[in-house]
Structure formats: structure tokens, C-alpha cells
Amino acid sequence: MAAANKEVERVIIQSVMEELARKGLLSQKGKDHMMSAAMMDTPIVPLPESEKMVSLPPLEEMQISNPFNADAVRAMKKLTPARIGVGRAGARPKTMSLLRFLADHAVAQDAVFLDVSEEFLQRMSLMSVQSAAANKNEFLQRPELGRRLSAEAIKTISEKCEKNVQVQILIVDGLSSNAIEANIPDLLPALLQGLKSAGIKVGTPFFVRNGRVWIQDHVASIVNSDVIISLIGERPGLGTAESLSAYVIYQPDNQTVEADRTVISNIHKGGIPPAEAGAHLTDVIKQILDAKASGVKLNQQK
């Protein structure tokens, strides 16, 4: 019985590792290390060709046996990434449904806990500063630290960032490093090009590690820009770990509340495509500059 349980555990772990590797979140070396750690005293031996790792079926594939109305289920599955029509084995989910859930949950956790890579920041030519949260655990446990800059970040921004510009762009990891690396390469150039074409003066974009939305208010108090826009990773779900939001605010101060922010969310390849979002955000920023207001105050002027 113990041997059988070990075999089931091995298959589940292998399947989860395969899904992570397929999504580019785990190298072969990392997969071998995690397998060894998970199995502990069980020696890892290469699988024969007949025991390849389980391949998960596409999410849109019908998993219900003998559905009452198969066409209706297929139609619903096309309209949403939600886990519907996945079937069950008695009172429990089917093995494939469970494996996909475990794999997607692992991807979501990695999006939160992994950092945006230094290689990515260098490739995008982004200066990097940090919030008052010294590490990821502190960032998650103490949200207020992610809303303000560290002393070193204040000094760096004061010395290196241009002051009194119309727009300052922040890239903030927030709760998904995946969202930053997946969307910024297309979103940021489109946004910069749009603002340049509109004749809007933009400060040099930079990256904030372990930051939350309200950190844009702290940055605004240093650079004194008219508009601050934060491109920030959203809390990942089991449907996608790559969703990004844009929070735009006009001249925030110590009286600013959440309703003062204009938000464009669900920016990713399965939602608002990042390049399209860049063009749309240009129009939104132009409206905010013209109205000298954002959030609810902007909407009240329309």
C-alpha cells in the first residue's frame, strides 16, 4: 500500500513539474531538485519511454462523461477560463482535473514569490528601487511597508529622476512578477510612443520592487509630476498569473483616497492585449491632464 501511495505521489509531482516547465517557470535542474526534495528517501531514476510524465488535456476539453447537454457545456467553456465541465470521480475531482489545479496553483504561488529578474530589468533599461519592505515575506505580511519607499530609494529617485514632468511611469511588481515580465515589453514602448506623439513630457520610467499601489503617492511627492501611472502585477488566480493593472492618478497628496485613482485592469494576452492597453492608456492620460482630475472626479466631468 505504501509503495502504491509513493507511486501516485510521484506521478502527481511529475505532472505538476511538467506544467511549470511548460509555462517556462521551472528549469530541468529546478525540476530535478524539487523532485528529489519531495521524494526524499525515494531514489530518482530516469523513467522508461513507457512511463512518460502525464500530459494534461487542454482546459477546453470536455471532461464530463455522458453530459446531459454537451453543446451547452462546450458553449460555456468557450466563454470563460473558469473550471466548468471538468467532471468528477464520485465525490472527488478526476485525476486530470486535480493535476491541472495543482499545477496552476503552483504557477500562481510562483508569480507571487518569485522576483522580477535582474536580466529583465537590464534588458528593459529600468532603474530599480525598493519599497520599505525589505523582502518578500515582509511585503506580504506588512502591506503598509509596500506603500512607501525605502530611505535608499528616496535618495536614488531624488538624485536620478527628472522633476516637474507631466507624467511619471512606475513599473511595480505587486503580487505578480509574471505579469511584469509578460506584459511590460509590449506595453511600455506602446505607452511611451503614444505619450511622445501626444507631446506629453514623460519622466524616465523605473521599477519598484516589493511595491503596492499607494507607493505612487510617495513617488509623486518626490518628483512632483502631474500624473503618476503605476503598471502593477495583479493578484494571480488559477486562470492566469500574468494579469497586470494600470493605476493612474492626478497630483496625489495626503488627502488622496482610492476613489481618486483611475484603473485599467485585466491587461494580458487573454484580456486587454498589452500593446492595445498602451494606446488606450495614452488616451486616458490625455483626458486626465485635460480635466486635471482622475478617478471618480474625472468621471463626474464626463
| Secondary structure string (H, E, C) spanning 158-201 | HHHCCCCCCEEEEEECCCCHHHHHHHHHHHHHHHHHHHHHCCCC
Q: Which of 48, 22, 26 is nearest to 38 (CA)?
A: 26
Determine if residue 107 is labeled as part of a ligand binding site.
no
Q: Which of 127, 246, 108, 239 is nearest to 177 (CA)?
A: 108
Determine if residue 213 is labeled as part of a ligand binding site.
yes
Contact (Cβ atoms closer than 8 angstroms) between residue 130 and residue 112: no
The CA distance from 150 to 156, in Å, is: 10
Quick one: residue 251, left, alpha or beta (phi over 0 = left, psi -120 to 50 = alpha)?
left
Annotated binding site: 213, 234
Annotated binding site for adenosylcob(III)alamin: 213, 234
